[in-house]
Structure 1
Amino acid sequence: MTANFTTTITVNATPREAFDAINDVAGWWGRITGSTAAVGDEFVYLVPGVHYSGFRVTEIAPERRVAWLVTGSYLDFIADKQEWTGTTVRFDIDETDGGTRIIFTHEGLKPQDECYEVCSNAWTMFVNGSLTQFIETGVGAPHRFDGDETLTAADQVQAPSRGG
């Protein structure tokens, strides 16, 4: 089986509201550093000691699509710690009679991948739960944690650069 991970939500909002919420990554996924505003922008999502992902915005089509290339990754809980590197996260946005449909795809996250079960469950929680809530109510359930939010020296050695 080689299908990419995908999940679909329909929200009670306009395509513009959905697009704006998707690009406010801290509001539904967790704290980031960098920018998601334009093609070529780069940002980092980090859960210290567990998960690092560097992204480059590769597509911004207001009210239609957002895509991010994973330029570097470090997943502490699997053998291939850089399994996400080179994959693409994409949000396709379509207006429907009942609101707006968002098809989320993590292209390159496949069922045979070691991270698939944990990562697809996490994406489902964040997209189907937090992002949906954030779009519809303005309040998401992003990842929050206590402690130092910078990479340790050991993490910096193991985590690839964002330059991809």
Structure 2
Amino acid sequence: MKNYDHTITVKVTPKRVFDALTKEMSNWWTDMTSTVDKIGDKTTAKFEDGTTWSFEVVKLEANRLVELFCYQADHIHPVTTPEMRKEWENTTLRFNIIGKGENTDVHFTHVGLTPEVNCYSICNSGWNHFFGAAFKAYLEKQIA
């Protein structure tokens, strides 16, 4: 089935997008335990409700690609069911960065987040907010 997939276009450089994905996730997503600079680096996303998702960098191409593999998940949400807590494990966040003149397209795929998983509705809405709105606004505010 189809993975979560969304593309935004922003008027910033591919380098600016890459930096926001590797060094500034805490500014637009949630508190991260560290920045990521190379393959093998690890970081954990920590949410106020206790949710944690731990990632390892599996692919990194400067200003072109960031891939984070989720090796540990503990999804705690007011409507989370027991089977939802580990659903992000073994999924991958893939950000393709494509420069197009003055603009940059950022194509995000959450590989493994499909309509078949129990958290799909919650996570789909979450990514639409954090990636589709907050990340885009964060990047666009940087140039204002």
Q: Which residue of the partner structure matches residue 147 of structure 1?
A: none
Does 2:78 align with 1:79? no
**Contact 2:69/2:92 (<8 A) preserved:** yes
1:58 maps to: 58
Q: Is the 8 A contact 2:13 2:102 kept in 1?
A: no
1:118 aligned to 2:122?
yes
2:31 is matched with 31
Q: How does 1:79-158 map to 2 (within 5 A)?
A: 79-80=82-83, 81-97=85-101, 99-138=103-142
The secondary structure found in structure 2 opposite 1:130 is helix
Structure 2 segments unaligned to the other structure (5+ residues): none
* Offset, 1:98: 5.2
Q: Which residue of 2 aligns with 1:14?
A: 13
C-alpha deviations, 1:74-116, integer Å up to 9, x for none?
1121332100000000100101245000000100000111100
Q: After TM superposition, give the deviation of residue 129 of structure 1 in Å.
A: 1.0
Aligned residue pairs, count: 138
Deviation at 1:138, TM superposition (A): 2.9
Distance 2:13 2:99 in 1: 7
Instruction: Tell me by how many angstroms 1:8 deviates.
Output: 0.5
Q: Distance in 2 between matches of 1:75 and 1:40?
A: 23
- Separation in structure 2 between the aligned mates of residue 69 and residue 46 of structure 1, nearest angstrom: 16
Rounded to whole Å, the distance in 2 between the matches of 1:69 and 1:138 is: 28
**In structure 1, how many angstroms separate the alpha carbons of the residues matched to 2:104 and 2:7?**
10
Counterpart residue type for residue 126 of structure 2: A
Runs of 4+ in 1 over 3 A off after TM superposition: none
Could you tell me how far apart the structure 2 residues matched to 1:104 and 1:67 are? 10
Q: State whether residues 8 and 104 of structure 1, in contact with CA within 8 Å, keep that contact through their aligned partners in structure 2.
A: yes
Residues 22, 131 of structure 1: 8 Å contact kept? no
The code of the aligned residue for 1:115 comes to C
Q: CA deviation at 1:50?
A: 4.2
Identity %: 28
Q: TM-score, normalization: structure 2?
A: 0.90
